[in-house]
Structure 1
Amino acid sequence: MTAQSRIPLVTDRLSGSFQPLWQPERVLLGSCAALLLFGVVMIGSAGVDVSQNMFGVPYHFVLRHSIYLMMGLFFAAIVTVIPVSVWQKASPLLLLFAFLLLSIVLVPGIGQEIKGSRRWIDIGPIGFQPSELGKVAMILYVGAYLVRRRDEVISSWSGFLKPVFVLSLMLALLLLEPDFGSVVVVMGTILGMLFLGGVKPGQFFLAMVAACGAVGIMAFSQSYRVIRLMAFLDPWAPENVYGSGYQLTQSLIAFGRGEWFGVGLGNSMQKLFYLPEAHNDFIVAIIAEELGLFGVLGLLAVYALMIHRIFKIGRLAELKNNLFGGFICYGIGILFSLQAFINIGVNTGLLPTKGLTLPFISAGGTSLIVSMGLIAIVNRVYGETLSLASAKGGK
């Protein structure tokens, strides 16, 4: 039996031909694989000294990340064989489950508090972040809603306000953790989906103004956020350079040391206990130091290629009347774009310091597994869209 024959098939009854139920989108999967492999290399480089100091072995972080990577591949393989229609039908239940977990994580003794935030639920040796499931659930729910109520979304305020109300409930739960970074990412992703789904420009503009106002209020509602903002504006000030601006100044030093081509893979100085979270939130700074400006530009190019393919698949699905597939691809593309933009913006001093992982690159568990699952969904949308188009062509 050949490899091709093992792929599930769908029959075009009129023509008698067989088409693969899914087909790999090589550019999408290739760019994702490149990011995953690069992430393993850079985590191994950035975390070796911290790992030795904390655990007595140099490769604890990269081994843990590799285990999560294997789990992500297994999860993606499962997602690949699930029809997209199943996600559409299950989206309300998945959203309710996400709300349940986001509520449970706030309960002392269940949600694990780390650095002042309750964002994790321990499942044996694995830490699970309900916010990652919440992002996916909102994308699937809004994608299904846009298909179900598209005329209402396009023509009336009620069609626009209903998903915004659901979004507000999720944002409230995220703020209670608190997880300000996820709030911004989820809000931007869902508003972007609604705009691409046909919301009137005036409604979208008012929503954006309200969202920006809400973000501003949230940013100044807590003293530690105000301190971070002040440190962001002048990180080199004496009161900030060894305080709230410490991570940013050390990140900028890493960028300065890297210059054009970097100091060489493994030769970073900032990872030697100068830059906190060097293998996680600030891994881009280590990439810049070791591989230079061209290394960072190469990373951005791969991200741009992957995200371009996601949007292209979404547009193809929309044109072939696979509306749910198209809308969720748009949401996934916006989600990855925002997360990458915010993480790199924080590393370069473009945005205030905020803990948010870089998809496929930063050390992490839930984020990595969920991100790989999302790529599998996009690839499934691509295969189903091609099969749909081929079946219609045969008729």
Structure 2
Amino acid sequence: MPPGKLSFDPFLILSAVTLMLTGFVMIASASMDVAARDFGSAYFFIMRHGVFVVMAFITLAIVSAIPLAFWQKYSVPLLAIGGISLLLVLIPGIGREVNGARRWISLGFFNLQVSELAKIFMVIYISGYLVRRLSEVRTTWSGVIKPILPLSIYVGLLISQPDFGATVVLMCTVMGMVFLSGMRLIQFVSLLLVGILMAGLLAVTQPYRVQRLKTFLDPWADPFGAGYQLSQAQIAFGRGEWFGTGLGNSIQKLFYLPEAHTDFIYSILAEELGLMGALVVIALYCFLVLRIFITGRRAEKQQQFFMGYVCYGCAFIFAGQALINIGVNVGALPTKGLTLPLLSYGGSSLLASSIMIAIVLRIDYELKRAAVTGVSSPGKPSPHKAVRRAVA
């Protein structure tokens, strides 16, 4: 294939766009009555999310044109920018508080949830670190422990917001990336146990988290109080049965299920499209994550380790957020405010997801270009050095 005819991964684009458009349709269905009541226009959320979708496509086009060498070169400054952003959101007057959580910075048209970008910056930094210290990570404890320092700073800032869901996703993502880089099994098991212990301690240190755990165990013990949201979500799944009530025919969206167009959009989808529709969405996420992992594996085979680790990190973020959100909706996990990537309403999540998709598409393009031309991407020498140190 001539270099001029190289194309981006069509399967990755198809799965991402399908999820994005499915989300737009479901948001339109789930939000009209709430929008009419709260804002006087049934199309309020539809129009806003339509703008977010357009912004997402523009972002995807711009970011996919940025060489991976740029992200590798500026991985440390990006980490600092992410940390500063997480700190700024805690400052009164800069950070915006919603429902007791301070996670957003107002940009006028929409509120930017800085943790969405911070997770991407951490993935880019860890990828660069693994390339520079690959031999140390594979042979010593110090190589595994060093990235815990910036991670712990991010985790501390996220807990201060508080954003427990983003904290869990970020910790699992970093742990997964380090594991795939070739760390020893005893190191992975030790860190996994420490991570589980920390998550458990964080879960029981705040009364509202303890209450969520109790509600998760038996939402029907208080169906009109603490268990209201989860019980209404389960009613939505029950009403959907196999093939759903039909698009637009949800009852739960009529002020029964709170946050129907955001955190619980999957419950409305299951009610209107049924179990079959819900399973199709899960299949799309599995396919999306699989394509990203395949691209990462291809990068490793071409010894483009930075690209490979970035792909793995993005795949873990998509998989982690989708797993938690869907788990919450079906009652398999305690209630947690975490968006469903590419599908839930919200500009921050959609833009962050588009950035990750664009970076993976760029990686796929550069790998194809290198395979055709035989010319490696700029910024490749450091992976080779790391590999030689590891082999030695």
| Contact 2:28–2:46 (CA under 8 A) maintained in structure 1 | yes
Report what 1:7 is aligned to: none
Report what 2:318 is aligned to: 336
Report what 2:197 is aligned to: 213
Deviations 1:15-64 (A, max 9, x none): xx951496210000011111111011000001010011111111111111
CA distance in 1, matches of 2:49, 2:93: 26
> CA shift at 1:392, angstroms?
2.6
SS at match of 2:333: coil
Report what 1:115 is aligned to: 99
Equivalent position amino acid for 2:359 in 1: I
Equivalent position to 2:284, from 295, 302, 311 = 302
Equivalent position to 1:365, from 342, 347, 350 = 347
CA distance in 1, matches of 2:374, 2:21: 38
| Contact 1:24–1:383 (CA under 8 A) maintained in structure 2 | yes
> CA shift at 1:123, angstroms?
1.3
Please tell me whether residue 87 in structure 1 is matched to residue 71 in structure 2. Answer: yes
CA distance in 2, matches of 1:115, 1:59: 24
1:261-300 correspondence to structure 2 within 5 Å? 261-300=243-282
Report what 2:305 is aligned to: 323
CA distance in 1, matches of 2:334, 2:189: 24
1:188-199 correspondence to structure 2 within 5 Å? 188-199=172-183
Q: TM-score, normalised by structure 2?
A: 0.94
| Contact 1:128–1:365 (CA under 8 A) maintained in structure 2 | yes
Equivalent position amino acid for 1:215 in 2: A
> CA shift at 1:317, angstroms?
0.7
1:89-108 correspondence to structure 2 within 5 Å? 89-108=73-92
Equivalent position amino acid for 2:344 in 1: S
> CA shift at 1:244, angstroms?
1.6
| Contact 2:237–2:274 (CA under 8 A) maintained in structure 1 | yes
Cα separation, partners in 2 of 1:160 and 1:37, compared to 1, 3 Å: same
Report what 2:386 is aligned to: none
Q: TM-score, normalised by structure 1?
A: 0.93
Q: Which deviates more from structure 2 when the two are superposed, residues 384-393 or residues 355-364?
A: 384-393
CA distance in 2, matches of 1:162, 1:52: 52
CA distance in 2, matches of 1:159, 1:388: 30
Equivalent position amino acid for 1:312 in 2: I
User: Please, which runs of 5 or more residues in structure 1 have no aligned partner?
Assistant: 1-16
SS at match of 1:40: helix
Report what 1:374 is aligned to: 356
| Contact 1:22–1:382 (CA under 8 A) maintained in structure 2 | no
Please tell me whether residue 143 in structure 1 is matched to residue 143 in structure 2. Answer: no
CA distance in 1, matches of 2:226, 2:9: 44
Report what 1:225 is aligned to: 209
CA distance in 2, matches of 1:22, 1:327: 23
Report what 1:43 is aligned to: 27
Cα separation, partners in 2 of 1:80 and 1:225, compared to 1, 3 Å: same
> CA shift at 1:302, angstroms?
1.0
1:157-172 correspondence to structure 2 within 5 Å? 157-172=141-156
| Contact 1:120–1:130 (CA under 8 A) maintained in structure 2 | yes
Equivalent position to 1:260, from 212, 224, 242 = 242
CA distance in 2, matches of 1:97, 1:18: 39
Percent of paired sites with the same residue: 49
Report what 1:58 is aligned to: 42
User: Please, which runs of 5 or more residues in structure 2 have no aligned partner?
Assistant: 377-392
Cα separation, partners in 2 of 1:256 and 1:86, compared to 1, 3 Å: same
Report what 1:354 is aligned to: 336
Equivalent position amino acid for 1:297 in 2: L
SS at match of 1:281: coil
Q: Which deviates more from structure 2 when the two are superposed, residues 336-345 or residues 17-26?
A: 17-26
Equivalent position amino acid for 1:221 in 2: T
Q: How many residues are paired up?
A: 376
CA distance in 2, matches of 1:332, 1:362: 18
- C-alpha RMSD of matched pairs (Å): 1.3
> CA shift at 1:393, angstroms?
9.0
CA distance in 2, matches of 1:299, 1:73: 21
| Contact 1:313–1:326 (CA under 8 A) maintained in structure 2 | yes
